[in-house]
Amino acid sequence: MIEWIKNPWPWYIGGPLIGLSVPLLLIFGNKRLGVSSSLRHICAICFPGNIQFFKYDWKREMWNLFFVFGIAAGAFLAVTLLSNHQPINVNPKLVSELKDYGINDYSKLAPPDIFNWSSLFTVKGFVLMVVGGFLIGFGTRYAGGCTSGHSIMGLSNLQWPSLVATICFMIGGIVMANFILPSILRI
């Protein structure tokens, strides 16, 4: 059993468990699954400036920050206690493509060849980590939600604007991964 847990979980176990977070949060207290809002709450708490968008009663939304703190803690537990530390097994086509960009280390969830502190000060690392992060924050708030808020919560409640958002997430990702990212990784 514990060996089974330590292996990566198949999609048909993990997917439904992720989906169950929706009713769990609703039943706990009428909370709707969403992670990107936490970024807005952090802005509202730390630097609201004089911006109307950040002036609201964030104390009511504190649950969301407890939730994201839990995510980080859960990830820590999963990696330290529930993992067998095997390299990630990906499609051989991807392996050979990434080899051309000098990415060979599959020991962590994010490739250590790019996502490390020293590469932060290279053009490639800066673009991927800092510009990429900026686009996540700007894009999700502009779209009014992220993968959890639109693609899981919104779709589960049959909201068509969430479907539009989800399709756009995918188009953006497909364009970036296939047509733009290769040039960035070659830098």
Partner 1 sequence: METIVVKNSFVEKLNTDFEVRSLDSVCINTSVLKHPWWYNIKYMVAGLLFGIVLVKTEVISWFRIQEMFRFQSFHMYGVIGSAVLTAMMSVWLIKKFRIKTIYGEPIQLYKIRFSKGQVYGGLLFGFGWAMTGACPGPLFALIGSGTTVIIVTLLSAIAGTWVYGFFREKLPH
**28-87 positions binding partner 1, by CB under 8 A:** 28-43, 47, 49, 51-57, 60-64, 66-79, 82-83
Least distance from partner 1 to the Cβ atom of residue 11, Å: 3
Size of interface with partner 1, in residues (CB under 8 A): 138
The 156-185 contact track toward partner 1, x by CB under 8 A, reads xxxxxxx-xxxxxxxxxxxxxxx-xx--x-
Contacting partner 1 within 3-32 (CB under 8 A): 5, 8-32
DSSP secondary structure of 125-143: HIIIIIIHHHHHHHHHHHH
In the complex, what is the shortest distance from the CB of residue 131 to partner 1, in angstroms, rounded to a whole number? 7
In the DSSP assignment, the letter for residue 33 is P
What CA–CA distance (Å, rounded) separates 162 from 7?
33
* Residue with smaller CB distance to partner 1, 79 or 123: 79
Distances (CA, A) of 128 to 4, 168, 186: 34, 20, 12
Q: Which residues contact 145 (CB under 8 A, 6 or more apart)?
A: 34, 36, 37, 153, 154, 162, 165
121 binds partner 1 (CB under 8 A): no
With CB under 8 A as the contact rule, the residue among 99, 104, 122, 135 that binds partner 1 is: 135
